[in-house]
Structure formats: structure tokens, C-alpha cells
Amino acid sequence: MARRRRVSRETKVTGQVQRSGLPPGTLLDKPGAVPAELRLVVYSPQNYSVDKEANIASAAASSEAHRGVIWLHFHGTPDRAQLEELGTRFQIHPLTLEDIQSAQQHAKLEPFENYVHLQCQQISRHGHEFQVTPFHIILREGLVISVSAARQGLTTVLLDRIQNDQSRLRRSGAEYLVYALLDLVVDQAFPALQGFTDEVERLEEELLQRTHKAQLAEIQQSKRDLILFNHVLWPMQEMVSRLNHSIGEHRLLPDGLRPYLNDLYDHTIQLMSLLNSERDVVSGLMDIYLSMVNNRLSDIMRVLTIISTIFIPLTFITGIYGMNIDGIPLLHYRYGYDIVV
């Protein structure tokens, strides 16, 4: 099996090291940073439009004109200029902008007076590699801003649903779009976790058939992947639970969203249940490996014991006749050598 790469611990803390000593909310200039691609989607029950050449100013103008639900999506991490313009035109707190730029690997919910900021993590599988990328959602009155740096455009799945004038998205407000985005993030974790489960099952079958040293590294990698999944899914469940409890407490989270968030929370529980099951399996992989190694060693020792049992009496006889003491039987007999051999 090709070795899976993982998110390194050094990568997770690099952004915080760069910000050491700086005031909270400070945005950094990153050398070689490429501006994120923007897509502006405006829809209502009657019509919809998609603009891939949009900018933040046009999104702000559409929001001020109350043209319907405004969805501004950034594919990639916005650079400093984009974040500063985003904060100025939509009155977004500097700490939220800092979180978007620093790409912290932690799911959380932050309600502000005029918007709600949700940060979660996308986990996807590409070959033998698991990729974890942050996903940000900002909910304002009639406006949703999303930021994703994943390889595959997760949000493109929603475009087909928006084009259908009979879809619930077209007939619902911005808060339902937030739920739909979160639902996609959670659903994306299922195939990734299933891929991890398949790898663990394959490794378990190989261990039961034959063990080799390379499997020890695979077992350790499986443990790292398990930690990675737990690092992503557990905060996600807590964030969805907190969002569900915030229904009715914030004016942007109406009570009609509760049934959908309950269903979303059930999905996170299902993910954690699957993850806990795999934790038990992964914990037993090392026991299986050691047991198979011990069984193999026992088989080798059994063969060596049989060989030793055969040669002990022969060694005893050759030891006696090798002393050359006069009086040993057959010592002077003509065929004594042949008989002893």
C-alpha cells in the first residue's frame, strides 16, 4: 500500500508562529499569495444568476439592493487585500478575518451582532491521501459568504439544485443555504471515513495471513489517520450541537432551521459512532501483529526443538567415542566406526 500523507503538526502551527507578538486581528502579507477565485450567486424563487467574474463590490451592491439570497463564494484563501475589502464592505470583525487567513484547524461557531461565523473542516480522500482544509461560512441578513481552499469545488454541487426553481434552496432563505453547505461538508466525511475503514480491513486481513515489517509502519499510519479523523469530526459535532442550541437565540437563526440541524447532528453522531468502531479495530491491529509474530516465532522454535531432540542422542554418542578412553565398547572392533556412524 502506498503510504498516506497527512497534515503535519508543523503546518498547523506555522500561522500562529508568524503571528507571535502581533495584535489580535492583524492580517499578514503572504509572499506569492494568489487571490482567491470569486463566484457570485444571486437567487430567489423567481430567478437566479451566477457570475464567475464578480468582485466583492458587486456582491455588496447586490446585498444592498436586496435582490434575493446573495451567495459569495471564495475558492482558495483570500489574500490580504480581499480580506480587508471584505471586512470594510460587510462590517466583518478583524478576528474573523484573521481566522480565515490563518486557516486554523478547529471547528467553531462565533455569533456576532450582525453576522454569524461558522468554521469547520472538510476532509476528503485523494488516492491514499487524506486532505483536511478549513471551510468558513459567514451568514448575514440575506447574504452568505463561504471560503474553501479544497482541491475539488464542493459548493458546485449546490448549483444544480439552485438552478431548479422547485428546489427547497430556491424557496428558502440564506440560513437554509448555510445548512446545505454544512450538510455537504458532513456528507463528504462519509466516503473519506469509508475509505479509511476499507484500508484498515485490508490491513487486518493481511495481518491474519502473513506479517512483515512494513505492516508495522502501516499500523502506525492508521493510528495517525484515526487521530486526524477525530481531530476533524469531534469539533464538528460540537459545533453543530452548539449551532442547534443557538436556534432562536440569534435573529439570523430562525426556528424553522431546527429540524434540519437535528438531522445534521444525527449525521455527525453516525460519523462518530463509525469512528469509535474503527478505533477499537485499529487498537487491535498491533495485538494481531504481535500475536502473529509470536506464533511465527513459536513455529520456528518448535522446528528447532525437534532438530535438537534428534541431535542430542547423536551428540551424546559422539561425545563418548570422542574421548579415546581405552575400554569403550567397539573401540577396537573392526567395524566399530561403521556401527557408531
Residue pLDDT, tens place only, 137-153: 999 999 999 998 776 66
d(CA 228, CA 238): 16
User: Can you give the pLDDT at residue 299?
Assistant: 82
Tabulate helix, strand, coil % of the chain (nearest 5): 55, 15, 30
pLDDT, one tens digit per residue, over 96-150 is 998 888 866 688 999 998 999 999 988 888 777 788 888 999 999 999 999 987 7
What tens digit of pLDDT does each residue of 245-265 get? 999 888 899 999 999 999 999
pTM: 0.80
pLDDT at 16: 53
Q: What local confidence, expressed as pLDDT, does residue 153 receive?
A: 63
Q: What is the pLDDT of residue 297?
A: 82
With cut-offs at 50, 70 and 90, classify the pLDDT of residue 13.
very low
pLDDT of residue 331: 72
pLDDT at 305 over 90: no
Per-residue pLDDT averaged across 286-298, rounded?
A: 80
Around Cβ 252, how many Cβ atoms within 10 Å?
19
Tell me what percent of the residues of the chain surpass a pLDDT of 70. 90
Q: Are 253 and 137 in contact (CB under 8 A)?
A: no
CA distances from 229 to 123, 190, 215, 222, 262 (A): 8, 11, 21, 10, 22
Give the mean pLDDT of 59-63.
Answer: 87
User: What per-residue confidence (pLDDT) applies to 32?
Assistant: 63
Q: CA 96 to CA 92: how far, in whole Å?
A: 7
- List, as own/partner pairs, every contact residues 31-37 make where C-beta atoms lie below 8 angstroms and the sequence separation is at least 24, other chains included: 33/77, 33/79, 33/80, 34/76, 34/79, 35/76, 35/78, 35/79, 35/81, 35/82, 36/74, 36/75, 36/76, 36/77, 36/78, 36/79, 36/82, 36/147, 36/149, 37/74, 37/75, 37/76
Name every residue whose Cβ is closer than 8 Å to that of residue 272 and which is 6 or more positions away in sequence. 233, 234, 237
Residue 313 confidence (pLDDT) above 80: yes
